[in-house]
Amino acid sequence: MTEKSCSGGASHRALKLNSRSRRRRITEKIFRGSGAGALVLALAALALLFISIVGRAAPVFFQYFVRVPIEFSADVLDPGGARLAASLAAGDYTALVRRGLAVLFPEVADRSGRRKLFRLVSDGAVFELRERVLEEPDWIGQQREIQLLLSDEADLYFKSKPRGADSLAHAGPNSLAHIGLDADQIAWLESLRAQGRVSRSLNLAFFRAGDSREPELAGIGGAFVGSLLTLAVTFLLSFPLGGGAAIYLEEFARKNRFTDWIEVSINNLAAVPSIVFGLLGLAIFLNVFGMPRSAPLAGGCVLALMTLPTLVIAARAALLSVPGSVREAALALGASPVQVVMHHVFPLALPGILTGTIIGMARALGETAPLLMIGMVAFIADIPRSLSEPATVLPVQIFLWADSPERAFVAKTAAATLVLLAFLVVMNLGAVLLRKKFERRW
Contact 97, 121 (CB under 8 A): yes
From 170, 203, 236, give the residue that closes a domain.
203
For residues 261 and 132, state if they share a domain: no
| 88 within domain boundaries | yes
Contact 192, 102 (CB under 8 A): no
| 367 within domain boundaries | yes
Average pLDDT, the chain: 85
For residues 367 and 393, state if they share a domain: yes
pLDDT at 40 over 90: yes
pLDDT at 408 over 90: no
Roughly what angle, to the nearest 10 degrees, separates helices 408-438 and 152-159?
70
Q: How many CB atoms lie within 10 A of CB 275?
A: 14
| Spatial distance between the Cα atoms of 281 and 307, rounded to a whole number of angstroms | 13
Q: How many structural domains is the chain composed of?
A: 2
- Count of CA atoms in the C-beta half-sphere (13 A) of 279: 5
For residues 276 and 376, state if they share a domain: yes
For residues 269 and 180, state if they share a domain: no
Give the amino acid at 251. Answer: E
For residues 169 and 265, state if they share a domain: no
pLDDT at 171 over 60: no
pLDDT at 41 over 90: yes
For residues 305 and 424, state if they share a domain: yes
Per-residue pLDDT, averaged over 101-111, amounts to: 88
For residues 289 and 241, state if they share a domain: yes
pLDDT bracket for residue 220 (50, 70, 90): very high
pLDDT at 167: 45
For residues 255 and 131, state if they share a domain: no
| 295 within domain boundaries | yes
pLDDT at 416: 92
For residues 354 and 396, state if they share a domain: yes
| 35 within domain boundaries | no
For residues 173 and 237, state if they share a domain: no
| 86 within domain boundaries | yes
| 362 within domain boundaries | yes
| 214 within domain boundaries | no
What letter does residue 64 receive in the DSSP assignment?
E
Looking up residue 359, the CATH number of its domain turns out to be 1.10.3720.10
Please write the tens of the pLDDT for every residue from 278-295.
888 888 888 888 888 888
Whole-prediction pTM: 0.82
pLDDT bracket for residue 159 (50, 70, 90): confident
H-assigned helices in 171-220: 173-176, 183-194, 205-208
| Spatial distance between the Cα atoms of 190 and 196, rounded to a whole number of angstroms | 10
In sign, the C-alpha dihedral spanning 397, 403, 404, 406 is positive
pLDDT at 91: 82
For residues 353 and 421, state if they share a domain: yes
For residues 230 and 179, state if they share a domain: no
| 56 within domain boundaries | no
CB contact burial 345-365 (16+ within 10 A = b; e otherwise): bbebbbbbbbbbbbbbbbbbb
Q: Which domain holds residue 177?
A: 61-203
